[in-house]
Chains A and B, each alone.
Chain A
Amino acid sequence: MVRFEEVSLCYDAGPEILSRVSFALDPGSFHFVTGASGAGKSSLLRLLFLGLQPSGGRFSLFGRDVAGLSRSERALVRRRIGVVFQDFRLLAHLNVVENVALPLRVTGQKGQKIHEHVTELLSWVGLADQLNAKPPTLSGGQQQRVAIARAVIARPSLLLADEPTGNVDDRLAVRLLYLLEELNKLGTTVLIATHNESLVARFNHPVLRLKDGSITLERAAYVSSTSTAGTAA
Chain B
Amino acid sequence: MVYLASLAVAAALLVHQVTERWQTSLSEGLTIQVPPPAAADAGGAYTARVDQLIQILREWPGVAHARHLGPAEVSALLEPWLGEAGVSQDLPVPALIAVELAPGAAPDLPALTSELQGVVPGVLVDDHQRWLGDLLALGQSIKIGALVVVLLIILSAVIAVIFLTRTGLAIHQQVISLLHVIGAHDAYIAQQFQIHAFRLGLAGGLFGLSLAAATILSVGAWLRATENEVLPDLALSLSNWSLLLLLPPATALVAMLTARLTVLRSLSRMP
Contact = CB atoms under 8 A, between A and B. Distances in A.
B181 interface: yes
Contacts of A74: 271
Interface in A62-102: 71-72, 74-81, 83, 89, 91, 102
Nearest to A79: B183
Interface stretch (B64-72, B161-169, B184-192, B202-210): B184-192
B70 to A, nearest CB: 81
A78 B186 CA distance: 13
B178 A102 contact: yes
Contacts of A72: 185
Given A72-B185, A78-B183, A79-B183, A89 B174 contact: yes
Contacts of A83: 181-182
A74 B179 CA distance: 13
Contacts of B182: 78-79, 83, 102-103, 106, 150, 154
B234 to A, nearest CB: 49
Contact of A91 (B175, B180, B181, B188): B175
Interface string A150-164: 100010000000000
B178 A78 contact: no
Contacts of A91: 174-175, 178
Contacts of B178: 89, 91, 102
Nearest to B267: A71
A131 B232 CA distance: 67
A106 B179 contact: yes
14 contacts: A71-B268, A75-B183, A75-B185, A76-B183, A78-B182, A78-B183, A79-B183, A89-B178, A91-B178, A102-B178, A102-B179, A102-B182, A103-B183, A106-B182
Interface stretch (A47-55, A135-143, A196-204): A47-55
A50 B185 contact: no
Interface residues of B, number: 15
B173 to A, nearest CB: 12
B266 to A, nearest CB: 13
A74 B186 CA distance: 11
A71 B179 contact: no
A32 B174 CA distance: 27
Nearest to B270: A51
Nearest to A151: B182
Contacts of A51: 180-181, 271
Contacts of B177: 89
A82 B174 CA distance: 17
A75 B189 CA distance: 12
Given A50-B271, A51-B271, A91-B175, A71 B186 contact: yes
Q: With a 10 A CB-CB cut-off, give which of B175, B178, B179, B188 has the most chain A CB atoms.
A: B178
A150 B179 CA distance: 12
B245 to A, nearest CB: 34
